[in-house]
Amino acid sequence: MKLTARNTHRDLAYFYLGLIIAFSLSGIFLNHRQAWNPRRYTYDTREFERAAINKDSINEAFARNVGGSVGVDDDFRRFQVTPDQLRINYTNHDVEVELATGKGKVISYRTTPVLGQMTKLHLDTSKWWIYYSDVFGAAMLTIAITGMFIQTGDNSFRKRGWKLALAGIIFPLIFLFLLS
């Protein structure tokens, strides 16, 4: 096989096709995780009632104890107290309790199969994945650069493509600097 821009572009794109699709989808999912998070979707909500809670008595030890008393056997993450509610977050559960009435609910979460694991690709920080992501980034640069030299004639990069590439660079910069 001859080493040309077209062959390099094609073969790298084929090799990374699965990762390109997974990164694209997981990026979209993460952009909209407030509306729907595939790593954490609600599969069960259970209500409970306990005694009213004095806001002054709430500390981390108290928050951890509330979870255990309502059947949550999960890793504690954090708690938050608002004027009328105690919210406790665990790895796979949330507990919300109204301070005045003691009424509350336990919300249980699961990961959406496959889609939830894909979003982890954007969030993983293990050494091997960072190195692989760096190689992937270099491959994407290679795909972009070799793609500039594939087309010839009136639709080539030199005649037409550079204008689209410039627009493609300016467009995200507008969002980054002017609209954020």
* pLDDT tens profile 67-117: 888 888 889 999 999 999 999 999 889 999 999 999 999 999 888 888 877
Give the pLDDT of residue 117. Answer: 79
The set of residues, in sequence order, having a beta carbon less than 8 Å from that of 155 and lying 6+ positions away, is 161
Judge whether 17 and 98 are in contact, CB under 8 Å.
no
pTM summary value: 0.57
The set of residues, in sequence order, having a beta carbon less than 8 Å from that of 64 and lying 6+ positions away, is 76
